[in-house]
Amino acid sequence: MINVINISANAEEKPAPAAPAVLADGDAAKSKRVDNLHQARFIEIFLAAREPKTGSLVAACYNTLFTPSGIPESKDTSPQALVEGLDFDKMKTDFGVLNASLNGPKLWLPNWTEIETGVERDFNGIKAVWVAQLNMGDNKGGVGETTPYKPVTIARKSGLGWDKGTKVAILDAPDGNTWIMKGFQLGLKPQHTYDEFLAAGGSQFKKLPAGWKFRVITLEKDLIEKPEGGVATIMADEFFNVYDKTGPGMSNYKP
């Protein structure tokens, strides 16, 4: 509760506005490992609200990959018809939040993930579990307002792994940093498959900063990512594909 200073002898102390229940969905989160994830289709839903104590805009993030039901044989945890039926205005009302937004649909590219999961929610028949709470700053437009090729940090204790022999997409920056694609953007109206995107190579990038290079490789050994101190460095490209930084502090080597 936040104390409000009385402005007169008869003024009553007013309670702080209650936080939406979703902001507590990670309070009892437990770690789990999920395998068989490479190219599994998923979405994330972000529910944004202000923390009553700080006034900061934060967003509870829900992912369809990590529910108790596991990965289906189809590897599709976000059926297209159900995604198209998502009503984000209704979500704002139902969950008492300021903003609701969609990330994806995407393909998850690591082979396995260790992650903390919290409360499961139902969105138009799509089950998704709490996986993170993000600091949104002044971004009221949701996760879609992302600056391409601009690294950002996120508090994340999850571990990720790409198995030896997995084909991966890499961005090399002129500062020596190497980035691996973690999530391939399909969107509501996919323009190409993941394999088609890889085959097209660097020629399809129109906004890649000077000195950056795109390449596709097959891993010669397992790549394991465990962010040092629970803070990961991530980045989106112009297609809203998501990459994780590799190397010291992030992974066991730079591919």
Domain of residue 167, residue span: 146-255
DSSP state, residue 248: T
Please say if the pLDDT value at position 1 is more than 50: no
Domain end position, chosen among 142, 169, 186 = 142
Dist CA 178 CA 170 (whole Å): 7
pLDDT: which is higher, 185 or 142: 185
Q: Which two tokens stand for residue 119?
A: 């409360």
Q: Is residue 72 in some structural domain?
A: yes
Same domain as 251, residue 173: yes
Distance CA 196, CA 183 (A): 15
Instruction: For residue 80, give the 3-state DSSP assignment.
Output: helix
- What is the predicted pLDDT for the residue at 144? 52
Looking at the domain assignment, is residue 10 inside a domain?
no
Q: Distances in Å between the alpha carbon of 145 and those of 40, 63, 110?
A: 24, 19, 25
Indicate the burial class of 119 (C-beta count within 10 angstroms; 0-12, 13-18, 19 or more). Answer: middle
Say if residue 226's pLDDT is above 90. Answer: yes
pLDDT band at 4 (very low <50, low <70, confident <90, very high): very low
Check whether residue 138 and residue 170 sit in a common domain.
Answer: no
Element housing 61 (H / E): strand 57-63
- Count up the domains in the chain and report the number: 2
Half-sphere exposure of 125 (CA within 13 A, CB side): 9
One-letter amino acid of 221: K
Q: Residues of the chain with pLDDT > 70: what percent?
A: 89
The tens digit of pLDDT for each residue in 189-210 reads 998 999 999 999 999 999 999 9
Average pLDDT for 63-85: 96
| 190 and 170 in a common domain | yes
In a domain, 2, yes or no: no
Contact partners, residue 46, CB within 8 Å, separation at least 6: 59, 60, 61, 62, 99, 100, 101, 102, 103, 134, 142, 143
Which residues have C-beta within 8 Å of that of residue 150, sequence separation ≥ 6? Answer: 235, 236
pTM: 0.85
Q: Are residues 36 and 126 in the same domain?
A: yes
The predicted structure's pLDDT at residue 53: 82
CA 234 – CA 80 distance, rounded (Å): 27
**Same domain, yes or no, for 36 and 113?**
yes
**Residue range 135-149, pLDDT digits in tens:** 766 555 455 557 899
* Residues of the chain above pLDDT 90, percent: 75
Indicate whether 134 pLDDT > 90: no
- Work out the mean pLDDT of the chain and round it to a whole number: 89
Q: How far apart are CA 83 and CA 102, in angstroms?
A: 9
Residue 157, pLDDT > 60, answer yes
- Among 129-138, 173-182, 232-241, which stretch is predicted with the lowest mean pLDDT? 129-138
- Helices and strands, counts by H and E, the chain: 3, 15
Q: What's residue 216's pLDDT?
A: 98
**Whether pLDDT at 15 is above 60:** no
| % helix, strand, coil for the chain, step of 5 | 10, 40, 50
